[in-house]
Amino acid sequence: MTSASICHDWHALSSKDWDKAQQLRGYLAALKEMLIAKHGEIQPGSPADHWLSWAHQHADRLDPLIRQPSQ
C-alpha cells in the first residue's frame, strides 16, 4: 500500500467521521431547542443536561479535527 493510498483512505474515513459528528451536533441542537420549548430551560445537572453533555462529547470523539490521535 502506498503512502498516497493510505492518505486517501484516511481522508475518506476522516471525512465520514466529520460528517457524522456534524450531523449529530445538528440533531443535538434541534433536540435541545425542542426540549426547551416543551419543558423550559434545561437545568444544570439534570438527566437531560447530563445526556446532552455526554452526546456532545461523543460527537467530539467522532470528529477527526478535535479528537486526539490515540482515540
- Give the per-residue pLDDT at 70: 57
Model pLDDT, residue 30: 99
Please give the Cα distance from 50 to 43 (Å, whole number). Answer: 10
**What pLDDT was estimated at residue 13?**
73
pLDDT for the residue 52: 98
Residue 36 confidence (pLDDT): 98
Residues 47-67 have pLDDT tens digits of 999 999 999 999 999 999 887
Positions in the chain short of pLDDT 50:
none
Instruction: Fill in the amino acid letter for 71.
Output: Q
- pTM for the model stands at 0.77
